[in-house]
Structures are given as C-alpha cells and as structure tokens.
C-alpha cells in the first residue's frame, strides 16, 4: 500500500470513528427521552386508577389507549428526528475534515479523482476547471495531466483540461464546464454529499446498528 492510499484510508477511518461516536451519543439521548415519556404516561394511569378505579374504568382504558398511541407516535417522531440529526452531524464532520485536509498529503489525488468524475459526467472534448481559492493553486500541470490520463484510460477519449481564470466559487471541490459555458458539472463537496446522500444514509445506519447489535 503506497503512502497516498494509506493517507486516504486514515482520513476515511477517522471520519467513520467520529461519526460512530456521535451517533451512539444521539441514540442514547433518544432512548432516554422515550423512557421518560413512557414513565410519565404510566404515572398518569396509576393516578387515575387510584382515584376512580370503580367509577372510571372506561376512562382509564381510554387514557391507556391514548397513551400507547402517543408513545408510539412520539417514539417514531423522536427516532426520525434523531436520524436526521445524526446524518447532519456526520455530514458536517465530513465537510470539516475534508476542509482541514486541503493542501495535505494525498489531497491532489482527491482533486484528480473529482476532476475525472466531473469530466466524464460533462462528456466534452474540452473542459475548464473552477475551484475554491485554496484549491485552485493545487491544480497545477501535474494534476491536469494526471486527470487527462485517467479520463482517457476510463473512457478511451482524450479530454483537454484547463483552469478557469474567473472568480473562484466558495465551496470546496471542483466545477467543470465547457468553454462556451453551455454545460457544467458541479462536483463540489456539498453537491457530492447531496448526490450520494441516500447511499451515505444507508451505509451509516447499516454500520451503526450492526455495531450496536454486536455490543
């Protein structure tokens, strides 16, 4: 395994470890919230039974049914809310870690991969690259030639790449567009995460609940 691959794997492993720790904390909070609500519901039923057991049996049964329904609805609502919070927290952490990695070892290789993906999606003979202010200096001739070689290897087609001279976009990642600007492919980090959000969500919860079951 070369050093660049090792750095990528360490970055991904660190993100996964942070995500799992935060996910466990949020799930524990959700479980406590549900238990507290169920305890309050049980207390209400006990009080009614003590005060009017003989005269209000029908009322007690109605309250029990209502409490069971309320707990079910609240449990589902809290679970959905926590799932959303977990996903947002993980995505925020991923964005932060990627932002911190700009200029570090292996980052140029990430840029090459993003450029290649965008170029294939754009499907043009020539493409202009735009990137954030911190990333643009990293897209040098070496990165361009490496990306062009990968593109040709993947789709058996030569694509000429160049760097835009226009104002840089704020988000991390790259945008590729044709020279006449009639077509573009956005491969910035927020767009990438949104594009693969369903896969990210599925992976997170599959791995999370797998580990929780094994504990």
In words, the CATH class of domain 107-195 is alpha beta
**pLDDT at residue number 113:** 95
Q: Where are the domains of the chain?
A: 3-101, 107-195
**pLDDT at residue number 65:** 73
Whether 140 shows a pLDDT value over 90: the answer reads: yes
pLDDT band at 151 (very low <50, low <70, confident <90, very high): very high
CA distance 63 to 80: 25
pLDDT band at 90 (very low <50, low <70, confident <90, very high): confident
Residues 6+ away with beta carbon under 8 Å from 137: none
| pLDDT per residue as tens digits for the range 32-56 | 766 776 666 666 666 666 665 666 5
**pLDDT at residue number 4:** 60
Whether 19 shows a pLDDT value over 70: the answer reads: no
Give the residue from 118, 106, 105, 93 showing the smallest Cα distance to 173.
118
């Amino acid at each position: 395994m070369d050093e660049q691959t090792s750095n990528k794997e360490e970055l991904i492993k660190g993100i996964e470890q942070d995500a799992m720790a935060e996910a466990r904390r949020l799930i524990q909070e959700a479980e406590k919230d549900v238990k507290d609500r169920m305890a309050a519901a049980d207390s209400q039923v006990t009080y009614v039974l003590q005060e009017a057991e003989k005269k209000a049996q029908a009322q007690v049964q109605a309250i029990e049914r209502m409490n069971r329904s309320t707990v079910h609805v609240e449990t589902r609502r809290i679970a959905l809310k926590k799932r959303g919070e977990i996903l947002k927290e993980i995505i925020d952490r991923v964005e932060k870690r990627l932002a911190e990695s700009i200029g570090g070892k292996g980052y140029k290789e990430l840029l090459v991969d993003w450029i290649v993906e965008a170029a294939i999606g754009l499907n043009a003979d020539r493409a202009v690259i735009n990137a954030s202010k911190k990333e643009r200096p990293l897209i040098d001739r070496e990165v361009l030639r490496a990306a062009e070689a990968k593109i040709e290897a993947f789709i058996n087609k030569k694509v000429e790449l160049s760097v835009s001279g226009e104002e840089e976009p704020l988000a991390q990642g790259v945008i590729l567009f044709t020279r006449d600007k009639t077509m573009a492919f956005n491969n910035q980090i927020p767009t990438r995460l949104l594009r693969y959000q369903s896969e990210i969500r599925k992976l997170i919860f599959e791995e999370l609940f797998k580990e929780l079951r094994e504990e």
